[in-house]
Structure 1
Amino acid sequence: MNEGDGKTLRVALLGCGVVGSQVARLLREQADDLAVRTGARIEVAGIAVRRLSHPRPGVDQALLTTDAMGLATRPDVDIVIEVIGGIEPARSLLLAAMKAGKSVVTANKALLAEHGEQIHAASRTYGADLYYEASVAGAIPLLRPLRESLAGDTVHRVLGIVNGTTNFILDRMDTSGADFGESLEEAQALGYAEPDPTADVEGFDAAAKAAILAGLAFHTRVTAADVHREGITEVTAADIASAKTLRRIVKLLAICERSDAGVSVRVHPAMIPRSHPLAAVGGAYNAVFVEAQSAGQLMLYGAGAGGTPTASAVLGDVVAVARNRLAGTRGPELSTYAELPVLPMGDTLTRYHVSLDVDDRPGVLAPVAEAFARHDVSIQAVRQTSRGDEALLVIVTHEARDADLAATILELQALPVVRAVASVMRVEGEEDPS
């Protein structure tokens, strides 16, 4: 804390891109309100950037520096805000900042998902606050309720849409009938997708967020490597159309579940009933459905990305750590007491929607049904549509081990009556009432 009057806290801002520039703006525009809310003036001591020459309208150029490490460890800095992203140099900067006694606020989901144990250990060792609400679901207050509001409850399941880019693409495919490529191009043109959309469309972004959510919800160490990940690049217009016939919609879901055996954490496309609350989440919005033993079912919804929404979450954390610092206290630490085993995807109970191109002749269904039975997978529903000398056979299964379902698909691919396995997609949620 500044030694002058004891009522000024100085902030180092690491990064001044889409989010960082909005954090700087809000700190400036809301300075008076923040002072009242925290009990101290919050001043920006400096802003670390990669290139000084890059135009940054509204940002005081005198605050800019390329010496991020020097800024993060300066003696007159109380709080370090990291919005650089990526692993390095963010990891080294935050570790150094905490060692120097700074409180830390970060929006870095990738760093927390891959090196969360090390970052949290440094927070404990050096007595430094560590807040990261903005790392998952942008402006939606999600992590603090899991860490604090539900601390006295047992969370059984967290199910959510945590990537706005993929949600926009799948929403467009559903409403317009366009294929993946066309919908991705539209998302890029509107600024919802990056020029290189790999992190979003292949599920890496959602997997990092799922790891953070599962760790908080289940009091267990979970890393990005523990998360089963599938993206949406293989989702076709035919998959979307097939979902519609079942009164379902396709969403990329982050699913974290707790059972007697352990926890499972996965990210993949899935068909959910159109009656499910998540089905109505359109565009680039996010929503997360939480199921707890005593609280029951909760849903949090809002803008999951973007400079201003994410900056809002950052400032909420800044207020929290500022209050803690003034009071001489710290926020709650990450609880990993449960140490539940993280189950492999093969042991997870799921359901499948399978589309098969088969010969259109009597007796086709029998060998197909036998393949499912050999792997202890029960069939819930079958629909067949003729198409000349071939037919489309759509099968929805009951819940079974994912490994058994995968083995069934391999056997189906080898059956003489099956011309092709057209698509395979997991199914979540109860069926719509007929």
Structure 2
Amino acid sequence: MPIVREFTLPDLGEGLTGAEVVRWLVEVGEVIAVDQPVVEVETAKAMVEVPCPYGGVVTARFGEVGEERLVGQPLVTVAVAPEPGTTVPDAAPERPLVGYGVAEGGKGARRRRVGVPVPVAEVHPVAVVTPAVVAVISPLVRRLARDNGVELTGLAGSGPDGLIVRADVDRAISARTAAPISGRTAAPAVADGSADGSIPLRGLRRTVAEKLTRSHHEIPAATCWVDADATELLAVRAQMNQDARLPKVSLLALLARISVAALARFPELNASVDLDASGAPVAIRRHQAVHLGFAAQSDRGLVVPVVRDAHLLSTEQLGAELARLTEAARAGKLTPAELTGGTFTLNNYGVFGVDGSTPILNHPEAAMLGVGRIVAKPWVHEGQLAVRQVTQLSFTFDHRVCDGGTSGGFLRFVADCLERPGMLLRQV
């Protein structure tokens, strides 16, 4: 007789207490393997696929899309078939999810498919469906149903023993497409919102909104600008990338290297302000390590992944880590640990085709370097008017941490490194 195991939302780390269901990755009646992701959830810091430590047949799902589940609340129940002739042990404690995925361990756990029909029930907000026998459905059929929004639990299978086959799903899709639309035409609804255009702030989007609001209200920020001739920097990058056997060095990697060098010269800017219980500033905390955040665009909006210990990395290593985190941001796979703990932010808003910006600081950081687009402009170079590749640099800083002299010195050093990249050799 199969044993039904309950899998609850595990500890997601980083002080998180719950998560919102974004997308179910399995159906009731589906056979799953050990550590197979069963649901995608959004926390206040990242999108996470949650793997289940049990292998067997999914007998129930808990939580609708958009519903928040707290740590310890059930996600799915799984019918696990014991090995013939063995005693079923008590349920093992679930492994915590730290950052992303389950913790290491148990990789040797046996993965098996359960081929016996088991009682299943889909959990709904109001009632529980009467248990019924569900046959194992082909993965191709499940995928077809999932991609087209067809609930398999509502279909009558035409295959042997009521098995749902592809023809059943195709009929359901055709019937839904051909269904007549009657009555008054409804106002179009905005994605993830209501008909009036209201978009709820949830998960990461809500966290970002709260953080920006706090930064704007709490930090007395100021911004200074300077134009810089980046022609020589682009020439150096071209030289670095001449050897096709070596990884390409991105412009962002060079800007990151310049930022780290500037912070080595002006360490007081790699800082944050400590507050007392009333919110009054009481101390400036200078950080020894440079954890470099950089602005990256994702499907869920702007995120700031963090390159840990950037001061210890070479330009090539910085480029590799920046590329990895950028790809993870686009795929929505950044972990909470990769989105927290930054001490300084680099914002390359030039990729959006703009020249300048006065950004809000990434709380609780004390400074942010902004880089605009690089465009050909008339420029006086060595006493002659010439066409050069020019960019605008901006530097936003917490005025509690430094004054105009320090911020201006930092920005001037960055501009000098763009115009004369050889200055970076002094920092090697």
Instruction: Indicate whether the TM-score tops 0.5.
Output: no
> Taking structure 1 as the reference length, what is the TM-score of the superposition?
0.25
Q: Would you tell me which structure has more helix in proportion to its own residues?
A: 1
Give the number of the structure whose alpha-carbon radius of gyration is greater: 2
